[in-house]
Structure 1
């Protein structure tokens, strides 16, 4: 009887650390997920419900107001535009670019990588060699060149960034599909005569989705930074339409006199990148435990 009680006590002692680790993992997932939701809600819903003016066409008589001025929580820029309004609308533009780029990359890159690994042979060799050529070039330099040739606009920024996101996603998709290809359930489905498109949709896509989603979350932060860099250089979203990058670019001219013009969009950029990176790491940890 004493041995049974001692064994039960050991099980309870072992269960407590496991419960704490599970709680810590959930907390590590919920906090960045909440940050991402907050950024999304603030940028997409905030301008619709908050009593803030339009991001352009401000009153020049209210130009360069400091933060926490009446009616302008974060102040105004030299053109009299409300900084909070421009940050929220600029965040919406940055998030539209980021989400669009990752959706295109996941769809095309995921499909290419899965097809390459599933079919194999010459198809795999041709697809991967073409993607290797793209990866071999410095993607940021080529993105700048493509953005310069297409011209600054929201659509062109999405196309330029999406084009160079496809190879990286394809390699992740291919590696994940290769690990599935020889598993018993895949062999059984092939012997049952399942067509290739059904294999991709029903058996491969659901099993490689966790790796691709995790990679996409980590890629979100990278795309936001690159989009900000393009806008900073005048190759992304064109002024006067706001984006965090062109807001920082406009504010650097008067950084010493009005640092708020750079601090607030930089803080928004930092929080968004941090939120997506933390969420990607949390998802990777969560799925690796499973």
Structure 2
């Protein structure tokens, strides 16, 4: 009898397996759609970057300047000139890729400098708080209050048309906007328990900013930079179109459109190629930035 009771108590009941629920097709489609909205524009951006920076090194293209005038305005499909030539006999495809390189260099450099300086100023302003924060923000508000395009044209006119001056002029107007985004993100981080614990532990301010603040505001600043890439590229194109950005003979999409407008009725494709490249690049950066922002914020 005792043995029977022991066997009864030691015998464990059989567990009945529960079949997992099948995945919800609506959720799967939603995730796939979100992934596509990020990876498709990212793939387009990567393709454009590789084409502009690596393409001229791999494919045997003609130089972007110094073309033969006797070969001017050749139609697309001409042997040796897939997209034809412009009125000066320069290969359009070569100028398109080199012009994209110039525009991307401006966009990337302006955003990197703007993120570095503006992000630092905004984070320090929010961390210090009080009168220092108010003073820094009022100075930035003064810069933002002025019509940016008008001041940008004036500054570009004063500095003169060149690639470094174009980068400098655009950077001067990207820093205030980035600073406000950085300050807003830092203020949200300041209320987190781990940051308050770091302050109570006696960590110096620079260490708290580098170790706790910067990693947590980096996603917001990165998504803002992606959205800013399109704006910077469009603005650079506008300055180059007005003759205040990257000067000829160095190609950019803006000065290519400006040069081609004089013969637009006879050769409309010379305007269409850089315009489509500019539109596709800006649209891809904007879509990528918006969708990455939605992924970060969980929308």
TM-score calculated relative to the size of structure 2: 0.92
Query: Counterparts of 1:233 and 1:253 in 2: how far apart (Å)?
Result: 14
2:179 maps to which of 150, 170, 179 = 170
Correspondence 1:209 to 2:218: yes
Query: Counterparts of 2:282 and 2:150 in 1: how far apart (Å)?
Result: 21
Q: Deviations over 1:28-65 (max 9, x none)?
A: 11101101100100110011111111000001111110
Correspondence 1:88 to 2:76: no
1:198 maps to which of 192, 207, 212 = 207
Question: Which is helix-richer, 1 or 2?
Answer: 1
Q: How does 1:1-290 map to 2 (within 5 A)?
A: 11-12=21-22, 15-289=24-298
Query: Counterparts of 1:68 and 1:213 in 2: how far apart (Å)?
Result: 40
Query: Counterparts of 1:24 and 1:101 in 2: how far apart (Å)?
Result: 32
Secondary structure of the 1:12 match is coil
Secondary structure of the 2:97 match is helix
Q: Deviations over 1:229-264 (max 9, x none)?
A: 000000000001100000000000011110011000
Query: Counterparts of 1:58 and 1:237 in 2: how far apart (Å)?
Result: 19
Query: Counterparts of 1:46 and 1:145 in 2: how far apart (Å)?
Result: 36
Q: Deviations over 1:133-166 (max 9, x none)?
A: 0000011111110000000000000000000000
Kindly state the Cα deviation for residue 282 of structure 1 after the two structures are TM-superposed.
1.4
Secondary structure of the 2:168 match is helix
Query: Counterparts of 1:148 and 1:199 in 2: how far apart (Å)?
Result: 42
Query: Counterparts of 2:41 and 2:19 in 1: how far apart (Å)?
Result: 37
More off after superposition, 192-201 vs 143-152:
192-201
Kindly state the Cα deviation for residue 19 of structure 1 after the two structures are TM-superposed.
2.1
Query: Counterparts of 1:16 and 1:263 in 2: how far apart (Å)?
Result: 42
Rg larger in 1 or in 2?
2
Query: Counterparts of 2:76 and 2:131 in 1: how far apart (Å)?
Result: 61
Kindly state the Cα deviation for residue 12 of structure 1 after the two structures are TM-superposed.
2.8
Kindly state the Cα deviation for residue 218 of structure 1 after the two structures are TM-superposed.
0.4
Query: Counterparts of 2:213 and 2:79 in 1: how far apart (Å)?
Result: 56
* Ranges in structure 1 where 5+ consecutive residues have no aligned partner: none
Query: Counterparts of 2:203 and 2:57 in 1: how far apart (Å)?
Result: 49
